[in-house]
Amino acid sequence: MHAILKLLRRYRGGPDFNRTYAESYYLGEQFKLSFQLPVCNPPKPPRAKIVNYPLEQENWFEDNYRFIAHQKYIPLHEAYWYFWPLIQTPFRGEQGDLCLNLILGKIETSQPTPKTAAELGQALLDQYNGYYNSPTVGDYALGSNTKIINEVEAHSAKRASPFTEEEKQELISLKMRNRGYPKITEYEVFNFNQIEWVRYTEVITGKMNKQYRYACLLKDGWYLLAKFTLSTNMSDNTKPWYKDAEAAIEPMMQQIKLQKLEQLPASDNLLAAP
């Protein structure tokens, strides 16, 4: 039966919801994060993990965050699921993969502190758009879109016959598709396990990769982010595995739970006496 299923799907691997594992983390003094996810494929080597994250400790985020371009974050957990062709042959690796990163983030102090999921969504979009469209061009892709526009303007100015505005926009659009960061204008609010999550999508230009980001508000500008990254390797986004990977995201979100500690039984409370 399992072999027939693989033939129908036309790939091997991916998440198997019949084989799962459970973990939990404490986010400061008020929140418990727990989840049950499909086992990583290929298996993930066991390693020691941090389970308590002191959100209330002064300057803890500033002293410990990592960053990727526009986003500063604290990593919590990573899971991944690879998709392979039915028949393994030389020089032919995985078709693609789905990766989940659970992270802690914090809205910049220069931005208003969000009070609702919708305000969090707008703050995250403003942070993203503001970074890549910054008038200042710098390292780590800061002002990348501004750099592209400046390059086109400079090229046009050097020509004996400068570009028309329409030609400029066509060239800018072409360069944006290859190495720019399209402006994100939309987000949606979802409810999973009685928690409001905001969802928006980032497209990794030039790579046919896509990130579905789900964020929920914690407190004082802190938020929890579930980042699902769909990466194509020796395949593309029209294949069956890609559609199945996208379809697996919402069932996984249903298995991610965030609880207030005062709502937990005393035996499960981080602050409960031993």
Query: Mind listing the pLDDT tens digit for each residue in 15-30?
Result: 999 999 999 999 999 9
Q: Which residues contact 104 (CB under 8 A, 6 or more apart)?
A: 27, 53, 55, 61, 73, 74, 76, 218, 222, 223, 224, 225
Per residue in 88-99, pLDDT (tens digit) is 765 566 789 999
Residues 18, 94 share a domain: yes
Same domain, 27 and 159: no
Instruction: Decide: helix, strand or coil at residue 247.
Output: helix
- Whether residue 79 is predicted with pLDDT greater than 60 in this model: the reply is yes
Band (274; pLDDT cuts 50, 70, 90): very low
Whether residue 47 is found in the same domain as residue 85: yes
Cα torsion 40, 45, 51, 53: sign? negative
Domain region containing 160: 134-181
Average pLDDT of the segment spanning 53-72:
94
Distance CA 133, CA 119 (A): 21
Residue 274 lies in a domain: no
Of 150, 181, 212, the residue at which a domain comes to its end is 181
Non-local CB neighbours of 29 within 8 Å, separated by 6+ positions: 55, 56, 261, 270, 271
Do both 220 and 157 map to the same domain?
A: no
Same domain, 208 and 259: yes
Q: Would you place residue 46 in the very low, low, confident or very high pLDDT band (cuts 50, 70, 90)?
A: confident
103 & 41 share domain? yes
Side-chain-side CA neighbours of residue 185 (13 Å):
2
Q: Are 209 and 135 in contact (CB under 8 A)?
A: no
pLDDT band for position 261 (50/70/90)? confident
Flag whether 239 is in a domain.
yes
| Cα separation, 21 vs 37, whole angstroms | 6
- Residue 207: the pLDDT is 60
**220 and 141, same structural domain?**
no
pTM of the model: 0.88
Residue-level pLDDT at 151:
95
Residues 12, 105 within the same domain: yes
Backbone angles phi, psi at 38, to 5 degrees: -60, 145
Work out the average pLDDT over 203-229: 89
User: Distance between CA 211 and CA 204 in Å, rounded?
Assistant: 8
Rounded mean pLDDT of the chain?
A: 89
Is residue 97 included in any domain, yes or no?
Answer: yes
The count of C-alpha atoms lying within 13 angstroms of the C-alpha of 241, restricted to the half-sphere facing its C-beta, is 27
